[in-house]
Amino acid sequence: MAAAGARWNHVWVGTETGILKGVNLQRKQAANFTAAGQPRREEAVSALCWGAGGETQILVGCADRTVRYFSTEEGRFRGQKHCPGGEGTFRGLAQVDGTLITCVESGIIQVWRDNDKEASSDPLLELSVGPGVCRMRQDPAHPHMVATGGKEHALKVWDLQGSEEPVFRAKNVRNDWLDLRVPIWDQDIQFLPGSQKLVTCTGYHQVRVYDPASPQRRPVLEATYGEYPLTAMTLTPGANSVIVGNTHGQLAEIDLRQGRLLGCLKGLAGSVRGLQCHPSKPLLASCGLDRVLRVHRIRNPRGLEHKVYLKSQLNCLLLSGRDNWEDEPQEPQEAKKAPPEDTETDQLWASLEAAAKRKLPDLEPTQGALQTRRRKKQRPGSTSP
Amino acid sequence: MAKAGDKSGSRGKKGLKRKATAEEPQEAAAAEDGAPESGVQLPKAAAFPPGFSISEIKNKQRRHLMFTRWKQQQRKEKLAIKKKLKKEREALGDKAPPKPIPKTIDNQRVYDETVVDPNDEEVAYDEATDEFASYFNRQTSPKILITTSDRPHGRTVRLCEQLSTVIPNSHVYYRRGLALKKIIPQCISRDFTDLIVINEDRKTPNGLILSHLPNGPTAHFKMSSVRLRKEIKRRGKDPTEHIPEIILNNFTTRLGHSVGRMFASLFPHNPQFIGRQVATFHNQRDYIFFRFHRYIFKSEKKVGIQELGPRFTLKLRSLQKGTFDSKYGEYEWVHKPREMDTSRRKFHL
């Protein structure tokens, strides 16, 4: 049943024990999915991203350098791909046009052909960007552009279809008031939509905005928050501000127009490992080392919406960007009911017929229209809105 | 009213208690006392305006008097109720309903969803493969380094010495102003498994940093109520070299489990029961009480205990994921007083 309702999960979280957890905030349920049936620390999830085709597939990057494919429709892992080359865990995963882009800590970006059935093959493209990468992020507007940044690794924007040289290479800020070099530690990068700008948050509690379109290679705007390394960042809907989290569990919203602090969110007790905002709703999902997934409301009023205790340390998360969050179709609550169907409730009531033709749990991957119609008939009997 | 006031002022307060009831009718509605001796009351004083409270009396002496009288009345009533209940209980004998349990803060503890269920497989796997796995699988045995903050005073030095007698296989070293981040790689290369740093402020120890070494978590505690051996009353002789047993009480939540495991990994796995020594870490309301006793069984049910070693109380301030790095390390749990201490019935360990 967990597998059956998998596609309606709102948040997908990867843990240090190798379990992928799907959380349904409407029903307040969390389900565990593992590739091997048992949690394994070697498969600790280090990167998550959506696969091709909307939000039906998730690419899970594990600590043992394999990328596993998880299907949300079926609720199970469908295949994996081993991506050797370079050292360290995955720092970025992205997907474009049927190819998979991976980046590891030692700075090797590889582009793989996306046929998941193949055990391993040579990468289509291999690019060495420099050691100490902490994050690689893909530009959602131009999927072949990626940005990398890390510890003593300045921000660089690469065009994977272009040359071996970066399109934009950031310059470090001027020496500080003691004439000492300011160290670099870019922990997270985001592309600002609507322009070429990028925002980074650093381990030295700075938030910087870079503009490749301007002749200035130094940051255009710099803001600081707190005294602890900022570990995660996300853009808010409206894209005028970012929300950053640090190793003490403090979340702050920083305005990018003026570089000032708009407000803080409280609740987290441990280091923030993953942050993501919903593209249209004012909701923010955060996960961290205190083993709890929290969903906050960012605006009117600012506060905690949901809190889910997930028993392992959480590494990264994916928030579903779909709009019909609250209008989720009534799920059949009994275990014997089969995977979910469409949201045409009118047809439901119209086609009221006595029903349960299917007694066994049906986890068939292919869901034809016929099957869905049959299940629709079952539902009116079971649920009463 | 002034006349009555004068009269009350002139007599002693005790006298007033009996006589004032007779005087009261003369006070216009100043008394709330509906007590019996009102036979002499004049009709105009019989009706007390509703909503009148003793605090509205402007005369302080009179007000105090009325209040004490009210209080005595309340006490009498309470005693009467108790007596009545007791009589009823005795009358019912065996059929009396069980006595109600008094509410305590521990009883009323807010439900904590992180309390570990012993049958939980995910948490069991998490614990079986965490940084203490090598200790709990008997692959490593503990070797502890105890040190202090720089330039410790007498109490701290003596506490370190006493701690090293309590914890087997521990070594005390003088700090010499060295940075912890430089000490830690040296410890790792010399096979130490844990590092204890006792922080001192104004000549008393007030903090404890416990760092599990190869790459394990670092816990930072506030330490209070430190009593050295000579300050403990009715204590026994000094502890022997036998390996003590451990008691970990009340570490129920996931965070509590982590901290409990940290304490457990300080002591070797094979307690020597000949020594009859036991170290107890008792967690109550997020305070961890450390005691060290020697016990002897006088009969099957009766035990005699003698407190030996130092005693102190710890409160967890933060649990950090790697080895000591307070500035750039990632924290698994940080105590935030204004967010976490809002409810008196919520505890985290």
A42 contacts A59 by C-beta, under 8 angstroms: no
A169 contacts A156 by C-beta, under 8 angstroms: yes
Q: What is the pLDDT of residue B9?
A: 45
Q: Provide mean pLDDT across the span B132-144.
A: 93
| Cα A172 to the center of its chain, rounded Å | 29
Q: Provide mean pLDDT across the span A183-198.
A: 94
User: Phi and psi of B44, rounded to 5°?
Assistant: -70, -20
Work out the mean pLDDT of chain A and round it to a whole number: 84
Q: Do B122 and A313 touch (CB under 8 A)?
A: no
Q: What is the pLDDT of residue B239?
A: 93
Q: Which of A290, A312, A315 to mutate to test the interface with B (most CBs of B within 10 A)?
A: A290
CA-nearest residue to B254 within chain A is A311
Q: Residue B102 pLDDT more than 90?
A: yes
Q: Provide mean pLDDT across the span B265-270.
A: 93
* Length, in residues, of chain B: 349
- Give the strand pairing for B144-148 and A57-62: unpaired
Q: Provide mean pLDDT across the span A141-147.
A: 92
Please list the residues that pair with B282 across neighbouring strands.
B249, B289
Q: Provide mean pLDDT across the span A72-101.
A: 89
Residue ranges of domains in chain B: 56-94, 108-341
CA-nearest residue to B321 within chain A is A289
pTM of the entire predicted model: 0.80
Of A203, A269, A312, nearest to B334 by CB-CB distance is A269
Q: Provide mean pLDDT across the span A113-122.
A: 68
3-state secondary structure of B339: helix
Identify the band that residue A361 occupies on the pLDDT scale cut at 50, 70 and 90.
very low
Of A203, A249, A289, nearest to B328 by CB-CB distance is A203
A270 contacts B343 by C-beta, under 8 angstroms: no
For residue B179, give the nearest of B144, B208, B147, B223 by alpha carbon: B147
Q: Do B333 and A269 touch (CB under 8 A)?
A: yes
Q: By mean pLDDT, which of A71-80, B157-166, B285-294 is the weakest?
A: A71-80
Identify the band that residue A118 occupies on the pLDDT scale cut at 50, 70 and 90.
low
Identify the band that residue A293 occupies on the pLDDT scale cut at 50, 70 and 90.
very high
Encoding tokens for residue A89?
């865990």
Instruction: Name every chain A residue with its beta carbon within 8 A of the beta carbon of B126.
Output: 17, 39, 311-313
Q: What is the pLDDT of residue A353?
A: 56
Tell me chain B's radius of gyration from C-alpha atoms. 31
Instruction: Name every chain B residue with its beta carbon within 8 A of the beta carbon of A248.
Output: 331, 334
- Give the strand pairing for A251-255 and A261-265: antiparallel
Q: What is the pLDDT of residue A53?
A: 81
Does the domain spanning B108-341 belong to CATH 3.40.50.10480? yes
Q: Do A228 and B327 touch (CB under 8 A)?
A: yes
Identify the band that residue B93 occupies on the pLDDT scale cut at 50, 70 and 90.
confident
Q: What is the pLDDT of residue A348?
A: 66
How far is the C-alpha of B149 from the C-alpha of B156, rounded, in Å? 9
pLDDT per residue as tens digits for the range A255-282: 999 999 999 999 999 999 999 999 999 9
How far is the C-alpha of A320 from the C-alpha of A323, rounded, in Å? 9
For residue A275, give the nearest of A201, A198, A326, A170 by alpha carbon: A201
How far is the C-alpha of B149 from the C-alpha of B144, rounded, in Å? 16
Q: Which of A13, A247, A266 to mutate to test the interface with B (most CBs of B within 10 A)?
A: A247
User: With left for phi above 0 and alpha for psi between -120 and 50, is residue A232 left, alpha or beta?
Assistant: beta
Q: State the complex-level ipTM.
A: 0.81
Q: Provide mean pLDDT across the span B133-155.
A: 94
pLDDT per residue as tens digits for the range B69-91: 999 999 999 999 999 999 988 88
How far is the C-alpha of B332 from the C-alpha of A272, rounded, in Å? 9
Q: Write the CB contacts of A97 (distance below 8 Å, at least 6 apart in sequence).
A: A143
CA distance B138 to chain A (A): 20
Q: By mean pLDDT, which of A262-266, A360-364, B237-241, B278-282 is the weakest?
A: A360-364
Q: Residue B263 pLDDT more than 90?
A: yes
pLDDT per residue as tens digits for the range B204-240: 999 999 999 999 999 999 999 999 999 999 998 999 9
Q: Residue B337 pLDDT more than 50?
A: yes
Amino acid found at A382: S
Q: Residue B123 pLDDT more than 60?
A: yes
Instruction: Name every chain B residue with its beta carbon within 8 A of the beta carbon of A30.
Output: none
Work out the mean pLDDT of chain B and round it to a whole number: 87
How far is the C-alpha of B39 from the C-alpha of B82, rounded, in Å? 30
How far is residue A333 from each of residues A225, A291, A358, measured CA to CA in Å?
46, 27, 15
Identify the band that residue A115 occupies on the pLDDT scale cut at 50, 70 and 90.
confident
Instruction: Name every chain A residue with its beta carbon within 8 A of the beta carbon of B332.
Output: 270-271, 289-290, 313
Q: Comparing A27 with A172, which gets the higher pLDDT?
A: A172
Q: By mean pLDDT, which of A4-8, B64-68, B188-192, B330-334 is the weakest?
A: A4-8
Q: Do A309 and B113 touch (CB under 8 A)?
A: yes
Q: Residue A365 pLDDT more than 50?
A: no
Q: Which of B112, B113, B126 to mutate to test the interface with A (most CBs of A within 10 A)?
A: B126
Q: Provide mean pLDDT across the span B322-347.
A: 93
- Give the strand pairing for B277-284 and B245-249: parallel
Q: Provide mean pLDDT across the span B167-189.
A: 95
How far is the C-alpha of B158 from the C-alpha of A367, rounded, in Å? 73
Q: Provide mean pLDDT across the span B157-178.
A: 95
How far is residue A356 from each of residues A24, A329, A381, B237, B253, measured CA to CA in Å?
26, 19, 9, 77, 43
Identify the band that residue A350 occupies on the pLDDT scale cut at 50, 70 and 90.
low
Instruction: Give the end-to-end CA distance of chain A in Å, rounded to a whole number.
Output: 21
Identify the band that residue A121 occupies on the pLDDT scale cut at 50, 70 and 90.
confident
Q: What angle do CA A277, A282, A284 make, to 5 degrees?
A: 35
B142 contacts B265 by C-beta, under 8 angstroms: yes
Q: Provide mean pLDDT across the span A64-78.
A: 90
